[in-house]
Each structure stands twice: as C-alpha cells, then as structure tokens.
Structure 1
C-alpha cells in the first residue's frame, strides 16, 4: 500500500518552462521558451572559478556570503545610483534568485497574511506565498503596456496585507517602472506601515533604449521597507550556476538569514570568490545591456512586416508577441502547434496568470545567437 501525502501545493505541477523545453527537445524545435542564453559565459569568469578551485577555496563559505563579495555588491549598488548598504547586516548571497524569494517570503509572511502579486508573474511567487501559509492576491497589469493599476492595488489592501511583490524589468513583458510608479509605491507604504515590498530585480542590468532601472534601492524610504532580489546568473548569462543575492534592512535580513541558513546554508564558494573579483570591472555588468539590446532589436525587426504584433520590451531578454491576427487558437494550443508543426518553442503568457488568463500572447527568449533568432523568425513570419 502506498503512503498518501497531502500536498502543500495541490495546484502545482511541473513548471511550464520545463514542459515546453521538454516538448521542444522531443520535436527538435528551436527553443526560445525557457530563459537561458545559448552563448558562452565569459572565459575570464570561468577561469576565475577554476583558479579559486585550484587555490583550495572549496569548503563552506560564510552563511551570509563571502565578505569580499558582499562588499563588491555594495559597491555595485552605490555605483549604479543606489543607497549605501551595510555589508554585514543587509546583504546575503543566495542560491539564485528563487531561493532568495522563497527564503524572504517564508521569513516575513505569516499564516493568513495576504500578498499582492502583479500578474502576469513568474511562477515561483504564489507557491512561495502558499508554502508560508499566506494568501496570494493576484492583480492584473494593464494591457498592452503591462503597467500597474495602482488604484486597483490600493483597493485590494486590507489589514492583512503584508507584502506587495513587484518584478521590474518585468518577466514576461519587458516592461519597466516609471517615476510615477515609484511615487505610487511610496504613497502606499506611507499609508500602510505594515507592508513590505519584495522587488524581483534579476534583470536590473538588462535594460534598453537609454532607460534607467528604477530599483527600490535607489530611494532611501523605499529601501527601508523593501527586499530586493538580484541574480548573477541572469546578469552574466550563467543561469546554471544558481547564484544571486538579497538586500534588505537589518531587521528583515535577520529573519531572512534564519530561513536561508536552513534552506541552503551557503553558496558555492569558488564562484563567490570569482564573482567578487569579476565585479571589480564595472563594464562586466554595465556592458550587458548593449549586447542584449542588439539582440532584441534584431528579433523585433524580423517581425516588422509580419502579422505578429511586437509588444515593446524595455528590459530582460524576453519579447512578447501578440498573435491575435495570426490564429484564433488559445495561447497554450498555439504554442504547442508552433513546436509540433513549425519547430519553434515559446511560452504562452497565460502560464504567468493564476487563472490562466489568455490574451493571445507568447513570450520568446532572444538570448540566443543571431543565426538562431533569424531562423526562428523566418519560420514564424511565414505563418
């Protein structure tokens, strides 16, 4: 007789990213679904990891992260217009952004508390909230620009609201925050002292068209009430390394570290030494945007004469296409059709909504070589 376990996440199955990538592999399709680059990591960064392995930096790092890496992170924050951060009490190196988000939510959200989630949203947010015993309150972003409806957010705030989760530059749309969004967020926090912002900023260094990433860490008041999450994997196109960090005020970070130390304790030591040195050259992170902007423009231009409508992408390495003039199929059905019949894999944007809201939108990852992007776009434009 098999043992029966009551699931803590009864609505959760295999992630859409795994499903679509597996389907792409089975049908030998061009995989523009899962968000990983297909070009190599910097040889210098790889050499730094190897050198630190050879030196003998192979045992546990300190639980919050190496001091020299936390110092480099603090310098990067200041250099990009952010606040001065206490490296001992306000920065923790994590096993990727997902662990940072999970540990942060578990540490700060109590049973029965509510968390506002702006949708479409990355799929780890709501499961983390539910694991913490909280209740997710999904609020849809405005279409077609994916801007927040702050009046709607305010209308959903109750005395149980503990957190608002934001993600900019936004996955899947590539939308970014405006000065007005920052103003609205500050007003919400001023009126509701119990609320914390969890800001997923993993694409902070991938931003286009001369725009500026408006981090919560660039405003003293917002920073005092926010948890900011970042990812070296995204910035340095090394997603398989699973290394990121979280920044929060000391009182909040104290609780996050309590969870982090039992969630993974510490992060791959030679990679931390390597990152600390690699961050010394500011162009290693400041120069990322130009490379991705070129790829975004190349991919967008390929659709200028097609029936696909290009939704503006100001950051991330994702492009959303509106296919409403191409097909009447639902987005999941159309995404599967593209894989099986046309050989191109994408992600249906309905997967980013808790109610699977379908606006005939697909997300494509353009973190690929131009030859791959050219081939995929030629196939799509013929439909």
Structure 2
C-alpha cells in the first residue's frame, strides 16, 4: 500500500528485501490443479502415531498448557541425549549441551546467528537445503558453495572442500543424509573432512534431521569422530522420521558455551518450544521407536521401486542411501532444471522441484520426494514417462 509518495517497501531492511523467495515454495504455489501429483513436499504421508496423539490429549486434560523451561523440558532433553547416545554414539549432557527448539529450522537459525559476523565465510556443501544461505546472509555472512557431484555419489570430498577454504572461512554447513540428493557420508568419508576442519579451525553445523533415514547402515555423525564433538553443532528433530512435521520440535546439541549462547537468543525470541510438541516428542522417544522403524522400512521399499521406475522411463538416477528424495538427472533432455520442472507440472500434472534451487550443483537435476504413497508414485511415473516421450524427438535431434 502506498500513501502519497511513501512506499512501504522503503521501510524494509535491505538485507531482508534482497532475500529471494523460496524456490520450493514457488512450485508449491503453482500446484493449482486438483489432479496434480505432488512429489515436491518433504513431508511423510504418515500421521503421527495414535499413542503419541493420545499422550497429548491426556496432557491437555491435565492442564499442561504452560511455558516450559527455555531450554526445554528436562525429561525431553534427557531422552534426546539417551537416544543420540544409543543410536549414534554421541554423548551430550542434557543440562548444558542440549537445547530444544521450534523445529530444526530454528536450530539452524540459532546456530548461524550465534556464530556469524559480517564478512565471515560459510562453506556450504551443495546441493543443499535452501534455508541455509538466506539465514546466513541475514547475518552478513558470505556463502561459499562447495559442490558435490553425481560421479562422487554427492558426497563431500576433502579435495573439493580444501579448494574453497580461505582465511575468512569460519563455518562449514553439512547436511547428511542429504536433502535433496539422499547422499550419505560414512566414517571413512568423514575422516579427511574432520582433519581439514581441525587444521583450519572450522566450526561445523551438521544438520542431521534425516539421521534415522540411512537405509544401508547406521548414520555416522561427524561429531562422533575423535576431537569433533566440541567443533560440531548437531541439529536434529522429530519431523521426518517420527512423522511430526506440524508439531515443530527440534533440537541442537553441542559445546556448552555455544549452547548457552544460542539459549540467550532463543529465550528472547521463541521463549520455548510448544509444550504439547515436547510432550509428543517424549512419548515418541519412549514408546514410538517401533513405529518409526516401520515407517522407515516403508520409505526404503518405496525408494527401491521408485528409483527402478525412474531408470526404466529414461531418467538416470543414483540410488540415494538416505532421506526420502530421488535426484534424477534431466540433462539429456536439453532443458534446464526449472524449464523441465515447470513443463512437467503444466503438461503432466506432476510437481517436482528444480534442482537449481538447491545450489549450482543441482542444475541438471530435479528433486522428487518418495514420501508419498506407492499408488501416487506409480501414477507419477506413468505421467512422467508420457511427458518424456513428448521430449524425445527434440532430444534425439540435439544428439545428432
């Protein structure tokens, strides 16, 4: 709205005004048709298990609607610490090294706001989740992308990282299992990265929201390597593996001085994570691990069938060992990622996300979530195959 010559946009801080809108959200907003099959949402199609919902209903009946301690319910922090220790060989002290956040998104924001000053360089392993770069930019940080490649199974290599480190490098952001590629790092993969982090005095923000979704073996956290616990901020949550996206409960674990600094920001902004979400998280950790494992088995079955289907219709795709995303190549079509995704949506009624929104390394790919039902995946593959046939003559002509 304008009043005379006054424009409201002039009041918006430049560093906010200059942030680009979410590339993922752009495709969501285009999903107009009721017949559209969406492979764009990073959300399980499972409902939060009944016993978790019932625990919250009981809590409501008991009047548990008040603030919790800023850092979160001690019961939950103890459960998180125990879960990380038994599941991933991580040791964090619940009182001072675990902070419950409003989803893992707030954890990312807190970590970056705590660490970054104007001009600091943030090494960002890409393709990567879209939120890291804008949040870092709000702090005046300078993003330096470290690209991964399909040829390396989208793993971060020491060679790629070494080539991007400068005297201004302060933070390395990694996200494995990875969104959007599904890549996973093993202990052997992490060892040279750990040596580089120590040699160049880097703090690592490790977003491990998909930690449970490592299908071919237990997830290895960089923080579990010798000397890396204090140097690594571990971020996790309940949205993906526990089917709790709307409850907005995550956590951040790390060195007690860093966690104390994050807590100062958290207590003035979010105050605390929602109490019912925290109660749901406690119940999930105490009694919901079997349901979690069942959902993960279902995702693995869908992955196997969907990757097979993509390859059968002519979309090359590496088998993602983690998360619930396929990242097929569309380079052979001659279209950019955005062109392909837009045409796929408009002409075939299938919504996928252009790989380019995840960083320069994502160009030439699209992200497809297989967290939807198998029926929808099968129907999407049929539509995609028909769409690819319409592109075949042009693709053949370019190949000549």
Whether 1:197 and 2:204 are equivalent positions in the alignment is yes
Question: If the length of structure 2 is used for normalisation, what is the TM-score?
Answer: 0.90
In structure 2, distance between residues paired with 1:370 and 1:228 = 32
Whether 1:364 and 2:364 are equivalent positions in the alignment is no
Change (3 A) 1:155 1:303: closer
Which residue of 228, 231, 255 corresponds with 2:234?
228
Deviations 1:246-269 (A, max 9, x none): 111101111111111123110110
In structure 2, distance between residues paired with 1:285 and 1:223 = 26
Q: How many residues align?
A: 378
Which residue of 103, 128, 138 corresponds with 1:121?
128
Match of 2:385 in 1: 381
- What is the correspondence of 1:124-163 to structure 2 with a 5 Å cutoff? 124-144=131-151, 145-163=153-171
- What is the correspondence of 1:96-115 to structure 2 with a 5 Å cutoff? 96-115=103-122
Deviation at 1:119?
1.1
Higher helix share: 2
In structure 1, distance between residues paired with 2:185 and 2:362 = 24
Change (3 A) 1:357 1:250: closer
Query: Which consecutive unaligned segments of at least 5 residues does structure 1 have?
Result: none
Whether 1:330 and 2:336 are equivalent positions in the alignment is yes
- Classify the secondary structure of the residue corresponding to 2:184: coil
Deviations 1:79-133 (A, max 9, x none): 1132321101000111111110001100111222111001111111111111122
In structure 1, distance between residues paired with 2:179 and 2:83 = 23
- Classify the secondary structure of the residue corresponding to 2:7: coil
Match of 1:271 in 2: 277
Deviations 1:353-376 (A, max 9, x none): 1xx556421110110111111111
In structure 1, distance between residues paired with 2:168 and 2:363 = 31
In structure 1, distance between residues paired with 2:336 and 2:142 = 28
- Classify the secondary structure of the residue corresponding to 1:255: helix
Match of 2:182 in 1: 174
Tell me if the contact between 2:234 and 2:254 (Cα under 8 Å) persists in the aligned partners: yes
In structure 1, distance between residues paired with 2:24 and 2:79 = 32
Change (3 A) 1:379 1:313: same
- What is the correspondence of 1:6-155 to structure 2 with a 5 Å cutoff? 6-26=13-33, 28-144=35-151, 145-155=153-163
- Classify the secondary structure of the residue corresponding to 1:309: coil
Deviation at 1:329?
1.5
Question: If the length of structure 1 is used for normalisation, what is the TM-score?
Answer: 0.94
Change (3 A) 1:251 1:81: same
Deviations 1:322-359 (A, max 9, x none): 1234x221110110111111000000111111xx5564
In structure 2, distance between residues paired with 1:320 and 1:287 = 24
- Classify the secondary structure of the residue corresponding to 2:319: coil
In structure 2, distance between residues paired with 1:25 and 1:366 = 21
> More displaced, 15-24 or 298-307?
298-307
- Classify the secondary structure of the residue corresponding to 1:234: coil
Whether 1:243 and 2:249 are equivalent positions in the alignment is yes
Change (3 A) 1:150 1:11: farther
